[in-house]
Structure 1
Amino acid sequence: MDLDGLLAAQHGLIGRAQAHACGLSDRRIEWRVESCRWRRIHHGVYATFTGPLTFEAQVWAAILRAGRGAVASHRTAAYLDGLCDDPGPVVHVTAPAERHVRGKTDGVRIHYAHRLPLTRHPSKSPPRTRLDETVLDLVDVAPHPRDVDGWVTAACQRRLSTPERLADALARRKKIRWRPMVEAMLADVAAGAQSPLELRHLRRVERAHGLPTGHRQRRIAGNRVIWIDVDYTEYQVRIGHVGEGRFRDRRRDNRATIDGHATLRYGHADVFGDPCAVAAEQARLLQARGWTGAARPCAPSCPAPMIIGDRPQRGVADRR
């Protein structure tokens, strides 16, 4: 590739070795820097324009600094692919594990991977890891289970991946942090839990307290298609999770009430802050609508059965 074509592909960034391959000597490179035609961004990496670097240019500069075979990864790759809306303060790149980049580079974090040829996307620019691999890279460095929830559900909620594809990528990894949790989570996401809030409701409200199993992400077609977060069809009870579009949700709830359905709606403060109280409220409504089961305590100190006056029973199957 000629110099102009290379610079166009790399958002105006070039590495010293690339400049040599285009016929520029060290002396010619230094002259361009000293005359302010080029400027040094990292060791051996130059911008051939003035003014601030775009995000893509910053990514190219980090990749060129990391050297041959390096790609954007982790949160940087996630931002490039639309998995998150904030790239964070550091550009993340991954280089082949067989070599090491010497020295510290401000604003760049370099990771190393043995499987990089397999996890690298074949065509995207700037070069980056495949999206499923990006999700698992972020899971592997996640400090808290809630972060794991966030990355996995975001990939599926934004229609960037599927539980099946993520499970395939997970199976190809020999070592990864949080593996049992991710495997269980992928099964729950496949069942319809599309956000950390919905996962929390499924696990800590419904399952933990022995409530009936609802139908998740139920599609109802009419004049306009609507989606029900959790639908207990037999009892005409619906559960919604508060987020964006509250006015739309209110109109949907009003229509459901007219049709004989009762709707309960919960936000993060409810489901994360007091899942036992949410379970008690749901159980009370379900019982009023024909459920013959009883909420069970999720722990010895769980107040849910006492709130609704249930006497916990073991070994009693709930009617679905």
Structure 2
Amino acid sequence: MTRLGEVARQQAGVVSRAQALEVGLTPGAIRAHLRAGRWSAVYQGIYRTFTGAVPRRARLWAVLLRAGPTAVLSHQTAAELSGLLAEPCDPVHVTIPLSRRVRVIPGAVLHRSARLEHARQPGPDLRRTRVEETVIDLAISARKHEVAIGWITRACGRRLTTPDRIRAAITRRPRVRWRRLLLAVVDDTADGCHSVLERRFLRDVEHDHRLPRGRRQKVPPQKSGRRRYRDVAYDDFGTVVELDGRAYHPEERRSEDRQRDNEAAAAAIRTLRYGWSDVATPCAVAVQVVRALRSGGWRGRPRRCRRVECVVRP
């Protein structure tokens, strides 16, 4: 395989004019490939060395090469590559240094950063931002804080990064939108809170109404050897709260949820299940949780929260 062929293979069949010249091709040879239809220009000075449709990876390489050797894929595109997003998302997002000037790249969004040397993920040839840097980029560009929270909880819930790494990345940035909120979310996630819905339950139901703190997520392995998971388990009071946010509990898990509910009922454990519309009225949820906990022996006293419509009775 020629040197250019090896470069093209590593870059999904895409090469730059500079790379072609560097390995020994002449300008005339490049023009000959283009005239013969063996190559075609994706962008100015960026060529695909194959015919037919342009695969996703080749398109990403074309944008990255057009943006320059110090550019990295970022935001939704980096999330796609790291597994934060299940499907490709257009347009392609790429970040370049503040000092670099690049013309508009069709089909791409250009971002600029003064800290790319810290943000780049080491290793992959298809350069991208680190997962925790990607999470923060997406969080601070979100229109709603619920969406920003969701990026953090999703990344940690899928074990793509850790709360400590996200916290460190936030503290390294001089400007972070919703800094205090995002740091609070990171702390909650470190305690096992892995979705926006779970965080709302923790803050708006448990904390605001002074309920006992439930144990999050892990349950000891069953006799079968399989590990089960609960959203919130009040072990001392025989009560479990399952939080069913469709964004985090897809349809294929419904049968697993029913199986868990049945197992809990067989073990005389009260199971309460709530979705987004329920937790949107946290005081009513708190009343039901208090009733279930008291049936299990809890003798504590809840408190009314600051909401005018709160129906919790101490």
Give the structure-2-normalised TM-score.
0.91
* Equivalent in 261, 276, 281 of residue 274 of structure 1: 281
* Paired residues for 1:183-202 under 5 Å: 183-202=183-202
Show CA shifts across 1:21-41 (max 9, x none).
122233332332232111111
The 2-side partners of 1:239 and 1:203 are apart by: 14
The 1-side partners of 2:46 and 2:191 are apart by: 48
* Equivalent in 252, 264, 267 of residue 272 of structure 2: 264
Question: SS in structure 1 opposite 2:109?
Answer: strand
Which segments of 5 or more consecutive residues in structure 1 lack a partner in the other structure? 313-320
In the alignment, what sits opposite 1:71?
A: 72
Question: SS in structure 1 opposite 2:176?
Answer: coil
2:227 is the counterpart of 1:225: yes
**TM-aligned CA deviation for residue 266 of structure 1:** 1.3
The 1-side partners of 2:50 and 2:282 are apart by: 55
| One-letter amino acid of the counterpart of residue 107, structure 1 | G
In the alignment, what sits opposite 1:160?
A: 160
The 1-side partners of 2:115 and 2:307 are apart by: 46
**TM-aligned CA deviation for residue 275 of structure 1:** 2.3
273-282 or 140-149: bigger deviation: 273-282
The 2-side partners of 1:255 and 1:163 are apart by: 32
**TM-aligned CA deviation for residue 299 of structure 1:** 3.1
Which segments of 5 or more consecutive residues in structure 2 lack a partner in the other structure? none
In the alignment, what sits opposite 1:94?
A: 95
| One-letter amino acid of the counterpart of residue 263, structure 1 | T
**TM-aligned CA deviation for residue 246 of structure 1:** 2.0
Show CA shifts across 1:248-289 (max 9, x none).
222222222222211101122322x32222222112222233
180-189 or 41-50: bigger deviation: 41-50
2:243 is the counterpart of 1:241: yes
The 1-side partners of 2:32 and 2:286 are apart by: 71
In the alignment, what sits opposite 2:56?
A: 55
* Equivalent in 277, 291, 299 of residue 292 of structure 1: 299
The 1-side partners of 2:60 and 2:149 are apart by: 27
* Paired residues for 1:70-219 under 5 Å: 70-102=71-103, 104-219=104-219
Question: SS in structure 2 opposite 1:220?
Answer: coil
Identity %: 41
| One-letter amino acid of the counterpart of residue 30, structure 1 | R
Q: Which runs of 4+ in 1 moved over 4 A?
A: none
The 2-side partners of 1:87 and 1:275 are apart by: 36
Show CA shifts across 1:188-244 (max 9, x none).
001111111111111122112222211111322222321121111121111112234
Show CA shifts across 1:286-314 (max 9, x none).
22333233443333422332xxxx2x4xx
144-153 or 30-39: bigger deviation: 30-39
**TM-aligned CA deviation for residue 133 of structure 1:** 1.4
The 2-side partners of 1:168 and 1:204 are apart by: 27
Two-structure CA RMSD over aligned residues (Å): 1.7
In the alignment, what sits opposite 1:316?
A: none
Show CA shifts across 1:149-171 (max 9, x none).
11101111111111112112222
Q: How many residues are matched?
A: 305
**TM-aligned CA deviation for residue 182 of structure 1:** 1.1
Show CA shifts across 1:62-96 (max 9, x none).
10110121111111011111111133211111112
Question: SS in structure 2 opposite 1:140?
Answer: helix
The 1-side partners of 2:187 and 2:122 are apart by: 29
Q: CA 1:133–1:140 in 2, change beyond 3 Å: closer, same or farther?
A: same
The 1-side partners of 2:309 and 2:27 are apart by: 72
The 2-side partners of 1:119 and 1:214 are apart by: 36
The 1-side partners of 2:256 and 2:100 are apart by: 54
Question: SS in structure 2 opposite 1:32?
Answer: helix
